[in-house]
Structure 1
Amino acid sequence: MDGATSSTWAAWGSREIATRAPPMPSGTATSGPSASGGSTTTTAGPPRRSSPSACRDRWRIVSLMASDRLGALAQVRLRIALLVVGGVLGALAFPRTDWWLFAWAWLAPALCCALARSPREALADGWLAGTVFFVILLRWLDYTFGAYSAIPWPLGWLPIAALAGYCGLYTAAVVAGVAWLRTRVGAGWALAMAPVLWVAGEWIRGHLMGGFPWGLMGYSQHGVLPVIQIAELAGVYGVSFLVLAVNTALAGVVGLGWRRAMPGALVAAALLLSSLGFGASALGSEQRAARAHPGSVTVAVIQPSIEQTIKWDPVHHREVMAIHEQLTREAASSHPALIVWPETAAAIFLRADRELLARLTALSATLETPLLVGSIDREATTRGKYLNSAYLLTGQGIRAEYDKIHLVPFGEYVPLGWLIGFVRSWAEFISDFAAGRTETIFPLPGAPFGTVICYEVIFPELFRGFVVGGAGFMVNITNDAWFGRTSGPWQHLGVLPLRAVEHRVAIARAANTGVSTFVEPSGRVSGLLPLFERGLLHHRVVLRARTTLYTRLGDWLAYGCLGLGASVLGFALFRRSRTACSGI
């Protein structure tokens, strides 16, 4: 079956593999016995371009050496099994299983397919592996749809599958890109572009149509502190690049053989070893800086553990507020500089509720401690939408307010609402909020800080804006009760160590039902309250002492990968296929 015309299903089922020798160019001198047993000699003629049949075969030719190693991929069941298992293992590298070593190898089977199959077939292979990866990674959404929507099970898996299928397209594009480049720049150089294309794809996924940068490969290493220290240089994309470089080296060794893959494998090994060396040195430096740097404040966070079913029920409003106020009084015993409540802890229009506002203002005055309170507000227009807000309260009332800038699609707003607004009736978690516009720096004396609300913490550039704006430490308030006891809250938490390392900034996190914690500038998690456990934490938060390269330059590596990827693809587009000319 020809790869250029096969369907996606046929691509997965194709048994053709790179086992042919390259066609002999027309006009080449040959000698050997004839069919009759005699000797025949053809005089070399002028070189001519490869025949159309040779051009059609160019996708299937890597090299004779590679054909032996990749021959197993001709078995359809084995190939699909390897791609599916790879996708599953890649997802298991993330919380809450945290089998992080799998992240370094899960994509190798798909990249091996790129060395043996046409771009169209590789596109199908990559999409299968990527879609399986995201279906497993996002499995926690099944709880949310089951508990808070009118969509019956198993139909709730349809939007999950649709989202996973969309995200899988980025994996597909990387694998197909390697297969396409293989015939124009050679298999080795094509593989070398895989980490570049991957990082470019992650950045695009994080920005296109509002962005969904969940499950970036660098987050799989959130607990491996020596590895993630390079985030202060290149952000989470630097960690993703490193992980994909090792995946690529493994694919090269398997698909091309050790001799041909040695240069790339040595480069990947050098990147890994230098990153680990940098990480070990950076961790030591951070420990010494934390002991020597006098700038710090004590921050307390409360975790009220209010079930989502009663959180917004007016009947339980006084009971819910009493729980928050009692935890706040207990937290004041450690004399913190700030007490943090979770997202929408005051599930009412705080600014408009004079009684509640007066009570919280009096509480702050009595405790002599500012409160950061999550609540909701409304735009100052006649038909103003809701705002997801955080208020800094002192004994004088509201000192400052931050309105959430990056909203959750199909959670806090409906994209293309004028067209598909009817989906709001499908689930109670779909709201109609407006986005804020200003990155507020809260004026805590001697320790200004920024706040990101819930989903915003997964956006590196948004988080960076607060640090550039002068935040000495960061706060993340969230309500992950929507996700129950699934892996969702843990995956959300796994983002924070990368944000901390990127800017060498401490983060305090208050979550309604967990996981509340503190993250040090090194990325180390210092104490946490488990899911659905009521309580409080307090910690000495070290203030940001220096500006990292990532803080200065932002996503420079991602921009570089976008530029390099576009340049190489453009160059290859106008270059004759090396396979058609030389069979390499």
Structure 2
Amino acid sequence: MNRWLPILISLAGALLLWAAWPTAPFTFLIFIAFIPLLRLADIVPHRPKFFGCIFLALFLWNLATTWWVGNTTVPASGVAANLINTLVMSVPLLAYHRSRQRLGRTAGYFALVVYWLTFEYVHLNWEFSWPWLSLGNVFAMHPSWVQWYEYTGVSGGTLWVLVTNIVIYETWRQRKKYPVPLSTFMWKTAWKPAALIIIPLLLSSLVQYNFKLPEGPASKVVIVQPNIDPYDKFAEENERVQLEKMIELSAKATDSTTSYIIWPETALFTHGVWEHKLAYEDETERIRQFLRSHPKATLISGATTLKRYDVVDEAPAMSRSAEDGNIRYDAFNAAIQIDTSYSVQVYHKAKLVPGVELIPYARYLSFMKSLALDMGGISGGYGLTPGVTLLEDTRTHIKVLPTICYESVYGEYVAEHVRLGANLVFIITNDGWWGDTEGHRQHAQYARLRAIETRRWVARSANTGISCVVDPMGRLQQPLPYWKEGVISATVTPGDTFTFYVRFGDLISKAAIAFCLIVIIYSYYLKFTKKIRVTDDE
């Protein structure tokens, strides 16, 4: 039994983490889901064996929760993504295992918290970025639990999860080591983990009670869910048919009071359009023709755009070369804004999906550029040259952040653009690549966290679903089911106030990075001075 115990504990950890994750209904299990990993650090002193145990737990969690990333034409991509993410996730736990041995149990727990928060922040900002399983995302289905995210962002949820798991584990460990009457145990010890769970919930209720929705002139938005199979939409002969379909759907809900019409990611110009010619394309003129019947309306849509660099030497290193070699250009996953004028604004997606839209660090390994997965349309990776920061309606001066697909998972990125003046947040996405799996459901739920962090209305247009509206308290409104054509008409109010999180960003993670460096330096100091602490593992 002792031989198999670490494996059984690893399996228990994976099961708890999976069961707690959206969209499963057992979110409360996250408060004990890390306990098996803490236990492994106590009973498995041998580092390679400990690595094997946590790798098993984390890999099974990744696989059970995000297996759908491989539900594409290249299934091996999912296995590779889960393996790489598991390896990266193992680093803070391995560092904790070593620090606990050197610094003692209490300091080791502190080290675990700062290591994990540092890992999540780094994982948000490097080119292998995959923040889908940041621990604070686990509360996406329960916005009433985390209204205080307007102060902390998702990292506050991560801190809550880690500290609560540590305290519950220590409470159990002390009870096991020093048996006392149950009444004494409840009075002196058990109240601590209970308070750690209850107090944040009470704070969330207090914040929610005092919060008032934005006031002022409202804007009517029309959200289109065309339900076009993503594997068919990039056929060139379908472009015009799809355009007419989206105009027809838009017309069902658009009237003289409509401010915005929202179409999903890559809804237009699936094979690319030169940005300097964009205002004069036939498709653009067809949209203007429709908008002239609704002159107050502005269209925001996903598109594939191309930008040429007339001076080859000034082109980005990873830009493309035309067949004749005379010009360099970039392809962009973009959002465009069209109204009745001949001014078309273009926003370029900045947070690209590793392996599909971006080969990480390919500028240092140029031969890897050809490895980008072909998910239809433009393959080979997208450019990162910035477009406009926000899409602004010059008539109303409303500014929109059109987050494209994966970008909506990045809380600090969204907050930064709200700080630059975004009054509304739109999410345009095409989640149909992964079929009817948890992928599109999790993605829709994460939008609720962006609404709380920024206190902005969020309007979400998804090609195959789930399209919806999210109010600034994170409440989901009018969700359209997956794989169903439809239109949403909703009223939103542009916001102009800044939350603490918007003003100051992710202070918790930045503090964790500073403490992480201190812990590492101190740990090595102890190593070289031979002052290593030995503690009782039990």
Which of 336, 358, 369 in structure 1 is aligned with 2:258?
336
Distance in structure 2 (CA, Å) of the matches to 1:359 and 1:442 = 21
SS, match of residue 518 in structure 1: strand
Alignment partner, residue 276 of structure 1: 201
Distance in structure 2 (CA, Å) of the matches to 1:309 and 1:79 = 44
Alignment partner, residue 161 of structure 2: 243
Alignment partner, residue 315 of structure 1: 237
- Which letter does structure 1 place at the counterpart of 2:382? F
Distance in structure 2 (CA, Å) of the matches to 1:236 and 1:419 = 36
- Greater Cα offset, 118-127 or 509-518: 118-127
Alignment partner, residue 355 of structure 2: 410
Pairing 1:163-562 to 2, within 5 Å after superposition: 163-257=81-175, 268-286=193-211, 289-290=212-213, 293-333=215-255, 335-348=257-270, 349=272, 351-352=277-278, 354-368=281-295, 369-381=297-309, 382-415=327-360, 416=362, 418-424=366-372, 428=376, 430-438=379-387, 440-444=389-393, 445-562=396-513
Q: Which runs of 5+ in 1 are unaligned?
A: 1-73, 150-155
Alignment partner, residue 122 of structure 1: 50
Pairing 1:94-113 to 2, within 5 Å after superposition: 94-113=21-40
Distance in structure 2 (CA, Å) of the matches to 1:395 and 1:128 = 57
- Which letter does structure 2 place at the counterpart of 1:137? T
Rg larger in 1 or in 2? 1
In structure 2, relative to structure 1, the CA distance for the partners of 1:107 and 1:439 (3 Å cut) is farther
Cα displacement (A) at 1:117: 2.6
Cα displacement (A) at 1:440: 2.2
Distance in structure 1 (CA, Å) of the matches to 2:292 and 2:15 = 53
Distance in structure 1 (CA, Å) of the matches to 2:503 and 2:253 = 36
In structure 2, relative to structure 1, the CA distance for the partners of 1:438 and 1:383 (3 Å cut) is closer
Distance in structure 2 (CA, Å) of the matches to 1:496 and 1:276 = 20
Distance in structure 2 (CA, Å) of the matches to 1:470 and 1:426 = 35
Larger RCO (CA under 8 A, 6+ residues apart): 2
The answer as to whether partners of 1:480 and 1:512 remain within 8 angstroms in 2 is yes
The answer as to whether partners of 2:355 and 2:373 remain within 8 angstroms in 1 is no
- Which letter does structure 2 place at the counterpart of 1:218? G
Cα displacement (A) at 1:494: 2.2
The answer as to whether partners of 2:427 and 2:460 remain within 8 angstroms in 1 is yes
Distance in structure 2 (CA, Å) of the matches to 1:78 and 1:127 = 15
| Deviation by residue 1:407-437 (Cα, 9 ceiling, x = unmatched) | 2122123332622234347765744321231
SS, match of residue 487 in structure 2: strand
- Greater Cα offset, 165-174 or 447-456: 165-174
Q: Normalization by structure 2: what TM-score? A: 0.86
Cα displacement (A) at 1:214: 1.4
Cα displacement (A) at 1:185: 3.2
- Greater Cα offset, 458-467 or 430-439: 430-439
Cα displacement (A) at 1:75: 1.7
- Which letter does structure 1 place at the counterpart of 2:371? V
In structure 2, relative to structure 1, the CA distance for the partners of 1:317 and 1:297 (3 Å cut) is same
In structure 2, relative to structure 1, the CA distance for the partners of 1:545 and 1:422 (3 Å cut) is closer
Q: Which runs of 5+ in 2 are unaligned?
A: 179-184, 310-326
- Which letter does structure 1 place at the counterpart of 2:148? I
- RMSD in angstroms over aligned alpha carbons? 2.6
Distance in structure 2 (CA, Å) of the matches to 1:222 and 1:424 = 31
Distance in structure 2 (CA, Å) of the matches to 1:184 and 1:570 = 12
The answer as to whether partners of 2:373 and 2:380 remain within 8 angstroms in 1 is no
The answer as to whether partners of 2:400 and 2:423 remain within 8 angstroms in 1 is yes
In structure 2, relative to structure 1, the CA distance for the partners of 1:398 and 1:528 (3 Å cut) is farther
Distance in structure 2 (CA, Å) of the matches to 1:238 and 1:437 = 30
Pairing 1:18-37 to 2, within 5 Å after superposition: none
- Which letter does structure 1 place at the counterpart of 2:488? L
Distance in structure 2 (CA, Å) of the matches to 1:550 and 1:315 = 46
Alignment partner, residue 316 of structure 2: none
Cα displacement (A) at 1:538: 1.8
The answer as to whether partners of 1:122 and 1:172 remain within 8 angstroms in 2 is no
SS, match of residue 366 in structure 2: helix
Distance in structure 1 (CA, Å) of the matches to 2:513 and 2:331 = 37
Distance in structure 1 (CA, Å) of the matches to 2:145 and 2:151 = 12
In structure 2, relative to structure 1, the CA distance for the partners of 1:568 and 1:93 (3 Å cut) is same
Which of 39, 45, 62 in structure 2 is aligned with 1:134?
62
In structure 2, relative to structure 1, the CA distance for the partners of 1:448 and 1:249 (3 Å cut) is same
Cα displacement (A) at 1:485: 0.7
- Greater Cα offset, 266-275 or 548-557: 266-275
In structure 2, relative to structure 1, the CA distance for the partners of 1:160 and 1:299 (3 Å cut) is same
Pairing 1:563-582 to 2, within 5 Å after superposition: 563-575=514-526, 576-579=531-534
- Greater Cα offset, 534-543 or 181-190: 181-190
Distance in structure 1 (CA, Å) of the matches to 2:501 and 2:176 = 36
State the identity %.
23
